[in-house]
Chain A
Amino acid sequence: MDFFTALRVSGSGLSAERTRVNLASSNLANAETTRGPDGQPYKRLDPVFQAVAMEGAGNGAPAAPGAESPMGVEVSQVVADPTPGKRVYSPGHPDADADGFVTFPNVNPVNEVVNLLSASRGYEANATAVETLKQMAQKGLDISR
């Protein structure tokens, strides 16, 4: 049932885009978080995507190790953005350092919303691919009606 390979590829794309949306939401939610679990200000998170070969038709056999085989995508790791966040002078803040400065996360909400939109469009694109595949399968079956 090789038809399902494309379905699995699109499924991996959907999962990857959903992870991106999750991380963008996390960044937006923590745009003002000055204390993470490690006591440090929140660092924005970014997914790293990696192409993975999809195994062959249903029988679990690995795909031929050529670039011609369809590749799925997976989130290989989630990295924290190391750029320093902005420092605001606020001596009364409980997370202020000795000089009275509070370090805020390095999250720019505008960038995150753009990221969110892009991820949402990517999700839609993958869903469209699935829809197209479904229609093709039905057309293929309709040939012998």
Chain B
Amino acid sequence: MRSELELAINGVRPLERPESRGIEKPGASGEGTFTGELSKALGEVDKLQVDADQQAKMVAEGGGNLHEMSLALEKADISMRLAMKVRNKLVDAYNEIMRMSV
């Protein structure tokens, strides 16, 4: 009786999803995907912000040196501007697609 049931259950196989073979589906966090690259770039921007923060803190505490702090702030500023540029472009593209009449 039990073995019959097992046989029946084993006979039931999940449907293979069509995209699992043929088309390569990019992983959400994999290397080389757009999402992966984006979060990597954002991590870079965040690192520069934290770095600038630390430099400013060091100068405020009397250590560090002024031009290193200014350069760190400058790096953080430039990378932040770039990130904002990318974000604006993304939002623009999204809006453009949403405005598309189907």
Contact = CB atoms under 8 A, between A and B. Distances in A.
Task: Name the residue in A10, A137, A138, A144 with the highest tally of chain B Cβ atoms < 10 Å from its Cβ.
Answer: A137
B89 interface: yes
Identify whether the interface residues of B are mostly helix, strand, loop, or mixed: helix
Interface string B73-92: 01101110110010001000
Interface of A: 1, 3-4, 7-8, 10-11, 14-15, 18, 58, 127, 130, 134, 137-138, 141, 144
A58 to B, nearest CB: 7
B85 A144 contact: yes
B72 to A, nearest CB: 9
B71 A7 contact: yes
Interface residues of B, number: 15
A1 B83 CA distance: 12
A111 to B, nearest CB: 26
B11 to A, nearest CB: 53
Contacts of B53: none
Given A58-B44, A138-B81, A144-B85, A4 B65 contact: no
A11 B68 contact: yes
B67 interface: yes
Interface of B: 44, 65, 67-68, 70-71, 74-75, 77-79, 81-82, 85, 89
Is chain A's binding surface mostly helix, strand, loop or mixed?
A: helix
B95 to A, nearest CB: 16
A1 B44 contact: yes
Given A1-B44, A141-B81, A141-B82, A14 B75 contact: no
Contacts of A134: 74, 77-78
Given A141-B85, A144-B89, A3 B78 contact: yes
A117 B82 CA distance: 38
Nearest to B47: A58
A69 B78 CA distance: 23
9 A-B pairs closest in CB distance: A14-B67, A137-B78, A11-B71, A141-B81, A141-B85, A7-B71, A4-B75, A134-B74, A141-B82
A113 B70 CA distance: 27
Given A11-B71, A14-B71, A137-B81, 7 more contacts: A1-B44, A3-B78, A7-B74, A8-B71, A127-B67, A130-B70, A137-B78
